[in-house]
Amino acid sequence: MAVSQCPNCGTAAPEGGHFCPDCGRALGAAERPRPTPAAGGGWGEFLDRCWDFFASTRVAVLLIVLIAVASIAGSLIEQENLYQDWRPPYLYYPARYGPFWGNLLMRLGLTHAYSSLWYASLVLLVVTSLIICSLHRLVPLHRMLVRPQVWKLPHFLSRQPITAELAGDLDGLAVQLKKRGFKIWRDRECLYAERGRLSRYGPYIIHIGLLFVAFAAFAKGIPGWDLSRDVWIPDGQTVKVPDTNFAITSHKFTMELYPNGMPSRFVTDAGIVQDGKEVFRQTLEVNHPLPYGGWDIYQASFRQEPGVAHLRVMGADGAPVTRLDVDLRQPETEYALSDQVKMVVTAYYHDFVLDPATKEPTNASFEVKNPVFMVEFVDRATATVLGRSALLVLGNAKPFYQGPLYLEVEKVDPRWYTALKLHKDLTTPYMFFGLGIVFLGMLITFFLFHWQLWVREESGRLLLGAHAHKNKFGLKQEVKRLPGTPIGEGNVS
């Protein structure tokens, strides 16, 4: 008798079965008879064809491979969110890859491959294929599994991948199989035993988990689902986080070093301020984010700049007159030096440079890099200017002055800025829930084995045919160990 083979996976299928025992494909004529579409309506047939297309394992594998190839392309070309350059993409890529290729790559979306339309379309196609493949197989598979056919002809048994002849009787065998965790069905002279049926549902559990994962990935596009904010906070100050109702204080940022000078810890002593009051205070460090109000707050980076300059006011004779501390980020407009004299800051540049075009002094950046003061010493009673001085805080330039007083730097204390990153990602629970399901499904799929045994009592002998959906090797060992079969004998093929 001709052995019928599953056209999808090639497994020998039970005679007259409607579905493949291995992959669940509907058997029968290669071209399934379809209900004739209603006159004038080609849509039914079109949908049918689409369904068949997406239900094919080959198409699924092809789509998986396409995503892999697309991902390779995206990893070889520097992506817009990862390159380390100050230039915007439209300047950076033409310089990086040449004007032709740079523009082409940008136009093809290869410079932001993973957020491009075509990558998203590929993922959507895979999701479609995953849903249709699963439905297409799960329904017939489930039907087949819950209603096993117990009574089988001898030639069905002899066609199974593992066969044996056992001594003993069916009742004894049933007891033995039960002990080994098999579930038993009996029908006249036949017995059917199976174990690990749940394993067959494993792939579909994985697929359901992957749907959650895909949902989470796409949900990032929903406005407000994936927010991120950056704040730079100098030591001792409080900065309002944009678009939230709280502010963060950095009481102190600390960088701890190993003896060899490598950084060992970055820690911010942070406080959360809501409605003008500090709600709580906690240290924040790399790998230990701080959750607050739906946001997670991360230690992202840090920066150090000249913070407070401790200055000496010197008499022209070189004798110190007094000291004062000047905040280099926000200096006061005037400082009282004594009851008689005050110092008026006439100009302050935090990053002094002479504008090459106008030759006027100006700031080169927003950072405190090259602070320069120009001050006047003024008699507080008469408001007459006693003298002037200019001071370059950094470097060892000689003081410029005119009149009885000048300024000198005693020391400059650094000011630490901590960079905190705030994330509010509503997709996270879906992603990790989905991944949990995926992993559970994998354990079920790969660590449970669906083993099926058919036994038939035939003129005093027991004929056994066994099929392992996974781990045939293990089932062979199991059959060899069955009582009544001398080990190494029997007809185990």
Residue 19 near another protein by CB under 8 A: no
Residue closer to another protein by CB (options 206, 463) is: 206
Write out the two tokens for 247: 């502010």
CB of 237 to another protein, least distance (A): 22
Residue 271 near another protein by CB under 8 A: no
Q: Are 212 and 434 in contact (CB under 8 A)?
A: yes
Residue 264 near another protein by CB under 8 A: yes
Q: In what order do the strands lie in the sheet with 162-166?
A: 162-166, 461-468, 451-458, 190-195, 183-187
Distances (CA, A) of 190 to 14, 20, 158, 320, 493: 16, 22, 14, 111, 21
Distance CA 153, CA 343 (A): 110
CB of 303 to another protein, least distance (A): 16
Q: Are 162 and 468 in contact (CB under 8 A)?
A: yes
Q: Are 60 and 67 in contact (CB under 8 A)?
A: no
Q: Which residues pair with 197 in a beta bridge?
A: none
Q: Which of 484, 479, 486 is nearest to 465 (CA)?
A: 479
Distance CA 114, CA 71 (A): 8
Q: Are 189 and 456 in contact (CB under 8 A)?
A: yes
What mask of x and - would describe binding to another protein in positions 199 to 238, judged by CB under 8 A? ------------------x----------x----------
- Total residues contacting another protein (rule CB under 8 A)? 61
Distances (CA, A) of 56 to 12, 63, 135, 136, 148: 19, 11, 12, 9, 26
Quick one: which of 182, 201, 204, 266 contacts another protein (CB under 8 A)? 266
Quick one: which of 76, 319, 381, 383 contacts another protein (CB under 8 A)? 76
Residue closer to another protein by CB (options 300, 392) is: 300
Residue closer to another protein by CB (options 60, 309) is: 60
Residue closer to another protein by CB (options 47, 198) is: 198
**Between residue 428 and residue 457, which ones bind another protein under the rule CB under 8 A?**
428, 431-432, 435, 438-439, 442-443, 446-447
List Cβ<8 Å contacts ≥24 apart for 171-175. Answer: 172/483, 172/484, 173/455, 173/462, 173/482, 173/483, 173/484
Residue closer to another protein by CB (options 8, 249) is: 8
Q: Are 324 and 358 in contact (CB under 8 A)?
A: no
**Between residue 279 and residue 298, which ones bind another protein under the rule CB under 8 A?**
285-289, 296, 298
Residue closer to another protein by CB (options 67, 239) is: 67
Part of the chain binding another protein (CB under 8 A), chosen from 58-66, 144-152, 365-373, 397-405:
58-66
Quick one: which of 35, 38, 42, 260 contacts another protein (CB under 8 A)? 260
Part of the chain binding another protein (CB under 8 A), chosen from 146-154, 165-173, 256-264, 385-393:
256-264
Residue closer to another protein by CB (options 144, 438) is: 438
Residue 138 near another protein by CB under 8 A: no
Residue closer to another protein by CB (options 58, 398) is: 58
CB of 287 to another protein, least distance (A): 4
Part of the chain binding another protein (CB under 8 A), chosen from 174-182, 232-240, 260-268, 376-384:
260-268
Q: Is 126 exposed, middle or buried, given 0-12, 13-18 or 19+ CB atoms closer than 10 A? A: buried
Part of the chain binding another protein (CB under 8 A), chosen from 242-250, 264-272, 324-332, 336-344:
264-272
**Between residue 396 and residue 425, which ones bind another protein under the rule CB under 8 A?**
421, 423, 425
CB of 262 to another protein, least distance (A): 6
Backbone φ and ψ for 457, nearest 5 degrees, come out as -85, 120
Q: Are 210 and 130 in contact (CB under 8 A)?
A: yes
CB of 127 to another protein, least distance (A): 14
Distance CA 373, CA 368 (A): 12
Q: Residue 83 region, left (φ>0) first, then alpha (ψ -120 to 50), else beta?
A: beta
Write out the two tokens for 284: 């924040």
Residue closer to another protein by CB (options 71, 238) is: 71
The SS3 call for residue 414 is: strand
In the chain, count of helices (H) and strands (E)?
Answer: 10, 21
**Between residue 460 and residue 479, which ones bind another protein under the rule CB under 8 A?**
470-473
CB of 448 to another protein, least distance (A): 11
Residue 67 near another protein by CB under 8 A: yes
CA angle (368 as vertex; 326, 266 as ends), nearest 5: 100
CB of 459 to another protein, least distance (A): 30
**Between residue 93 and residue 112, which ones bind another protein under the rule CB under 8 A?**
96
Residue 8 near another protein by CB under 8 A: yes
Residue 270's identity, in one-letter code, is: A
List of residues contacting another protein (CB under 8 A): 6-10, 22-23, 57-58, 60-61, 64-65, 67-68, 71-72, 74-76, 79, 81-82, 96, 113-114, 217, 228, 258-260, 262-266, 285-289, 296, 298, 300, 421, 423, 425, 428, 431-432, 435, 438-439, 442-443, 446-447, 470-473
